[in-house]
């Protein structure tokens, strides 16, 4: 049997965590040869050198792409994207993948899609059709859709949106969100095990905080994060902070939360990269989520946890009723609402609209049988 070479391109710890259940099934299947190309944040000490986690999980990284410039700013993101494109073209020439498997909407993912498209390598894309109006990711995601030949949408509405963009219904599948698979299948840490891993006592009420810059916003990210941290300081909650990603403004956010956490090491802890196991375990055992990350919209509902979603970064993404959307100036009021008995009771009654934990298996089964070609015909509604 000729194995189909599936090349996963990953650039961040969060995206890798979503890929993880898919990669495990591909690796164990006799139908496939798993190839891994790691890029961008994975090789930054500043962001935790997370390529080591990939290797510790038992995977071989075929190609290591060090493309992230250390200067924060829009021009450095553009240059990092260009460098990724150059280096990925050499990597794809060496490993000759049959399919490039991509997830989401980051700048290095766009570089991988551009490179594969220009080299006539078919692309399979996960999490297309979603809306996030407050970030440049919105434009990246939809452009990757148009470069891709096979699409794995998380819910039916997103599948319909991909078809609306001219993709043939025969190539667009509703599979759920692979992040839910980790919740169902990964043995999460107990509260005491998590405390030992963090070397930090979890006292009530404690929030898990992840905040990324709104890359399309007019307000300066420094002003935003300082306002948020001042409100947190006056809200009498403990906070486990995780780093922002390497988007424009990410380093500003990370410096501010580092400085802020030094004010009270008992109440505040910053971890650059929790990894999937500790991140999901924290989501399970902490009392609420604060920030604007997609995991608050997609994964948190599986734990029936309240989420205070700040700003417009996730605007347009379909949500469950555990989400409280707010502007920064409303944050303190909505933290109090999220922690109220009434809202907790409301959260206990929800079911996660993004699936039940079988997305990875569905994706791999489709990859086994689906004919994938770079030739496409625009599908008219």
Assess if residue 379 is contained within a domain: no
Asked if 148 contacts 125 with a C-beta cutoff of 8 angstroms, the reply is yes
Do 294 and 363 have their domain in common? no
Q: Find the length of the chain.
A: 381
Do 156 and 222 have their domain in common? no
Do 207 and 170 have their domain in common? no
SS3 category, 5: strand
Q: Which residues of 171-209 are buried (b: 16+ CB within 10 A; e: fewer)?
A: bbbbbbbbbbbbbeebebbeeeebeebbebebeebbbbb
SS3 category, 19: helix
Do 332 and 363 have their domain in common? no
Reported as a single tens digit per residue, the pLDDT across 138-185 is: 999 999 999 999 999 999 999 999 999 999 999 999 999 999 999 999
Which tokens belong to 164? 């609306």
Which tokens belong to 11? 């650039």
Which tokens belong to 264? 């009270």
d(CA 365, CA 368): 5
Which tokens belong to 159? 């599948």
pLDDT score for 130? 95
Assess if residue 208 is contained within a domain: yes
Phi, psi of 37 (to 5 degrees): -115, 115
pLDDT score for 72? 65
* List of long-range contacts for 376-381, beta carbons under 8 Å, 24+ apart: 376/149, 376/167, 376/168, 377/168, 378/166, 379/163, 379/166, 379/167, 379/168, 379/169, 380/166, 381/163, 381/164
Assess if residue 376 is contained within a domain: no
**Residue 63's CATH number:** 3.40.50.2000
Do 210 and 168 have their domain in common? no
pLDDT score for 63? 98
Nearest to 320 by CA among 293, 349, 291, 290: 349
Assess if residue 131 is contained within a domain: yes
Backbone dihedral region of 375: left (phi > 0), alpha (psi from -120 to 50 degrees) or beta? Answer: beta
Assess if residue 90 is contained within a domain: yes
Do 74 and 117 have their domain in common? yes
Q: How many domains does the chain divide into?
A: 2
Q: What is the DSSP string of 230-277?
A: HHHHTTT-EEEEE---SSTTHHHHHHHHHHHHTT-TTTEEEES--HHH
pLDDT score for 269? 97
CA dihedral for 148, 154, 160, 165, sign (positive or negative): negative
SS3 category, 197: helix
For residue 88, the enclosing domain spans: 4-177+356-369
Do 364 and 338 have their domain in common? no
SS3 category, 202: coil
Assess if residue 378 is contained within a domain: no
d(CA 173, CA 168): 10
Do 54 and 144 have their domain in common? yes
Do 54 and 89 have their domain in common? yes
Do 11 and 115 have their domain in common? yes
pLDDT score for 133? 84
Residue ranges, the chain, pLDDT below 50: none
d(CA 99, CA 103): 13
Backbone dihedral region of 84: left (phi > 0), alpha (psi from -120 to 50 degrees) or beta? Answer: alpha
Do 11 and 155 have their domain in common? yes
pLDDT score for 47? 83
E-strand ranges in 154-232 read: 172-174, 206-210
Asked if 295 contacts 14 with a C-beta cutoff of 8 angstroms, the reply is yes
Do 159 and 195 have their domain in common? no
pLDDT score for 202? 95
Assess if residue 184 is contained within a domain: no
Residues 6+ apart with CB under 8 A from 111: 39, 67, 81, 82, 84, 85, 88
pLDDT score for 266? 92
Assess if residue 381 is contained within a domain: no
pLDDT score for 220? 86
């Amino acid at each position: 049997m000729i194995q189909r070479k599936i090349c996963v391109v990953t650039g961040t710890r969060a995206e890798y965590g979503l890929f993880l259940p898919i990669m495990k099934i591909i690796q164990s299947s006799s139908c496939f040869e798993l190839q891994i190309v790691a890029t961008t944040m994975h090789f930054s000490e500043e962001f935790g050198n997370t390529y080591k986690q990939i290797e510790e999980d038992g995977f071989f990284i075929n190609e290591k792409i060090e493309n992230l410039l250390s200067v924060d700013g829009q021009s450095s993101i553009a240059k990092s994207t260009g460098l990724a494109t150059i280096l990925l073209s050499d990597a794809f020439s060496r490993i000759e993948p049959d399919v490039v498997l991509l997830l989401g909407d980051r700048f290095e993912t766009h570089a991988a899609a551009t490179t594969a498209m220009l080299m006539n390598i078919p692309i399979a894309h996960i999490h297309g059709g979603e809306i996030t109006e407050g970030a440049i990711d919105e434009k990246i995601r939809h452009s990757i859709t148009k470069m891709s030949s096979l699409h794995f949408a998380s819910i039916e509405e997103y599948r319909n949106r991909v078809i609306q963009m001219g993709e043939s219904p025969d190539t667009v599948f509703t599979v759920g969100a692979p992040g839910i698979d980790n919740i169902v299948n990964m043995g999460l840490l107990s509260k005491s095990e998590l405390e030992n891993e963090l070397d930090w006592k979890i006292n009530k009420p404690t929030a898990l905080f992840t905040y990324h810059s709104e890359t399309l916003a007019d307000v300066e990210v420094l002003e935003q994060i300082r306002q948020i941290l001042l409100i947190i300081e006056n809200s009498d909650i403990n906070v486990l902070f995780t780093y922002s990603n390497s988007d424009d403004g990410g380093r500003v956010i990370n410096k501010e939360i580092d400085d802020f956490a030094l004010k009270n090491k008992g109440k505040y802890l910053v971890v650059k990269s929790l990894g999937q196991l500790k991140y999901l375990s924290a989501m399970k055992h902490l009392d609420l989520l604060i920030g604007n990350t997609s995991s608050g919209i997609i994964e948190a509902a599986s734990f029936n946890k309240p989420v205070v979603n700040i700003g417009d970064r996730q605007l347009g993404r379909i949500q469950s009723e555990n989400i409280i959307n707010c502007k920064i100036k409303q944050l303190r009021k909505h933290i109090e609402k999220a922690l109220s008995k009434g809202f907790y009771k409301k959260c206990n009654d929800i079911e996660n609209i993004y699936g039940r934990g079988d997305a990875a298996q569905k994706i791999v089964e489709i990859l086994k049988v689906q004919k994938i070609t770079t030739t496409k015909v625009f599908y008219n509604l």
